[in-house]
Amino acid sequence: MSRIVVFGAGGRAGQQAVAEAAGRGHEVTAVVRDPAKHQAVAGVELVAGDVTDASSVAALVKDQDAVISTAAVYGEGTDPHGFFTSSARALVEAQPARLIVAGLSALAPDATGQRTMDGPGFPPEFRPFCEAHAAGLEILRESTLDWLYASPAGDFDHEGPRTGGYVVAAAADLTKRVSYADFAIALIDEATKPAHRGQHLLVTTP
């Protein structure tokens, strides 16, 4: 069994990643800002941590087999660019054995080879958030880590069930959907038996 730490474990993607890993019998550390605000999960160590703080990250990833970050900020009063660049740097500096960061399909090329966020009709109000994610991804690309950036091929099916499977898409397609539970299957598969490295992996429902 593997030792896996999940940052952003209180969010929808993070919760499902923790549940999937724990359900397979892995040793899971779930990292949140305030453990008192979250319900404990049987067999999971729930701890406080800050993915943007290098010393916090270094302590938490030590001796882990894989690190998954689904942590994000969005909306009024937040600084996505500062968050995603700081978290990427902290994760890279910690030198985990295997790093998987959950992100956006908007950064991936569509069937024409153009980044989805650069295509016609992409909502301009979302662009700053996407650029913030892109800045964090660039930090991963410049590193020597065993890393993977994973996202839905399109978007999440927010109410979708766990079908128990997924497929890897060749290009981004905003019409595609995947449930959080099925996306988590891909994250844990890649954490424990890596099949893709140093790339943007697009996941969708079969």
Sequence-separated (6 or more) residues with CB below 8 Å from residue 123: none
Sequence-separated (6 or more) residues with CB below 8 Å from residue 158: 12, 180
H or E element, residue 178: strand 177-179
Q: What is the pLDDT of residues 19-71, one digit of tens each?
A: 999 999 999 999 999 999 998 888 899 999 999 999 999 999 999 999 999 99
- Taking only Cα atoms into account, the Rg of the chain, rounded to an integer number of angstroms, comes to 16
Sequence-separated (6 or more) residues with CB below 8 Å from residue 183: 13, 16, 102, 150, 152, 156, 166, 203
Sequence-separated (6 or more) residues with CB below 8 Å from residue 23: none
Q: What is the pLDDT of residues 72-112, one digit of tens each?
A: 999 889 999 999 999 999 999 999 999 999 999 999 999 99
Mean model confidence pLDDT for the chain: 96
Residues in the chain: 206
Distance of alpha carbon 199 from alpha carbon 21, whole angstroms: 22
